[in-house]
Amino acid sequence: MLRTHSRLARRSSSDLRAIDRATKRIEELTVILDRQLTSEAREEERLKHLRQATGQITRSANDGIQAYRRVASALRAEAVHPEADTVEVEQASKALADARAKMLEALDVASKRYPWAPPWRATTAE
């Protein structure tokens, strides 16, 4: 069973960290954007800050999404492996779900900075 643990850990640990880094970056960008929007009165500059933040948030989210896909794929492959450790697969699945929820929460907070867009809320079925 040790081999199974090593195989799954190798395939997912760096990607789980990548999701966490992307989430933290989105949170940082949201704080920076808040500060910029608060200190800027000119509408053109506010829109410039929003455009820049949107691009950076999108890149960070895409990095997280790609990492999520790799971990999800590794989990699917591990789950059907004859020597799979089901407890480890369940724990890794929970860690992935938690990382995903944190990223979606960060994106939800960031989405509230766009006054012309209706509120967005991720559904649990996604």
CB-count exposure of residue 54 (10 Å: 0-12, 13-18, 19+): middle
Band of residue 115 on the pLDDT scale cut at 50, 70, 90: low
- Asked if residue 112 has pLDDT above 90, the reply is no
- Asked if residue 11 has pLDDT above 50, the reply is yes
pLDDT digits (tens, 9 = 90+) for 69-87: 999 999 999 889 888 888 8
Tell me the pTM.
0.83
Residue 4: the pLDDT is: 46
Rg (CA), the chain: 18
Residue 121: the pLDDT is: 64
- Asked if residue 2 has pLDDT above 50, the reply is no
Residue 8: the pLDDT is: 75
Mean of the per-residue pLDDT values of the chain: 87
Q: Which of 92, 103, 102 is nearest to 11 (CA)?
A: 92
Band of residue 24 on the pLDDT scale cut at 50, 70, 90: very high
- Mean pLDDT over residues 34-63, rounded? 93
- Mean pLDDT over residues 22-51, rounded? 93
- Asked if residue 31 has pLDDT above 80, the reply is yes
Phi first, then psi, for residue 24 (nearest 5°) are -60, -40
